[in-house]
Amino acid sequence: MPDLSRVLPEAHIPELPDPYYGKVRDCYDLPDGRRLLISSDRISAFDRILAAIPFKGQVLTQTARFWFDATSDICPNHVLSYPDPNVVLARRVTILPVEVVVRGYLAGTTGTSVLTLYKQGVREMYGHRLPDGLRDNEVLPAPLITPTSKAFDGGHDEPLTEAEIVAQGLLTRAQWDEVSAKALALFARGQAMAAERGLILVDTKYEFGLDEEGRILIADEIHTPDSSRYWIASGYEEAFRTGQRPPSFDKDVIRAWVAARCDPYRDPIPEIPDEMIRRTSEVYIEAFETITGRPFEPDLSGATPLERIRANLAPHFTR
Ligand code: ADP
Ligand code: MG
What is the whole-number distance in angstroms between the Cα of residue 215 and the centre of ligand 2? 21
Q: Name the domain boundary from 186, 219, 242.
A: 242
Higher pLDDT, 105 or 112: 105
Which residue has the CA at smallest separation from atom 27 of ligand 1? Answer: 220
Residues 286, 295: contact at Cβ < 8 Å? no
Q: Quick one: which of 102, 67, 112, 100 has its CA closest to 206?
A: 100
Q: Is residue 1 part of a domain?
A: no
* Whether residue 155 is found in the same domain as residue 106: yes
Instruction: Indicate which atom in ligand 1 lies nearest the CA of residue 217.
Output: 23
Q: Is the CB of 78 under 6 A from ligand 1?
A: yes
**C-alpha angle with apex 13: 12 to 14, nearest 5 degrees?**
110
* Whether residue 133 is found in the same domain as residue 152: yes
Q: Is the CB of 209 under 6 A from ligand 1?
A: yes
Mean pLDDT of the chain: 95
What is the whole-number distance in angstroms between the Cα of residue 216 and the centre of ligand 2? 18
Q: Which domain holds residue 265?
A: 19-92+254-316
- What's the pTM value of the predicted model, to 2 decimals? 0.96
Question: How many residues are recorded in the chain?
Answer: 319
Q: Is the CB of 83 under 6 A from ligand 1?
A: no
Instruction: Compute the average pLDDT of residues 170-195.
Output: 98
> Of the bound ligands, which one is closest to the alpha carbon of residue 64?
1
Q: Name the domain boundary from 212, 242, 272.
A: 242
Could you give the number of structural domains in the chain?
2
- The pLDDT of residue 1: 59
Which residue has the CA at smallest separation from atom 19 of ligand 1? Answer: 220
> Of the bound ligands, which one is closest to the alpha carbon of residue 151?
1
Q: Is the CB of 99 under 6 A from ligand 1?
A: no
72 C-beta neighbours (distance < 10 Å), count: 12
* Whether residue 128 is found in the same domain as residue 204: yes
pLDDT tens readout for residues 262-286: 999 999 999 999 999 999 999 999 9
What is the rounded distance in angstroms from the CA atom of residue 113 to the CA atom of residue 52? 27
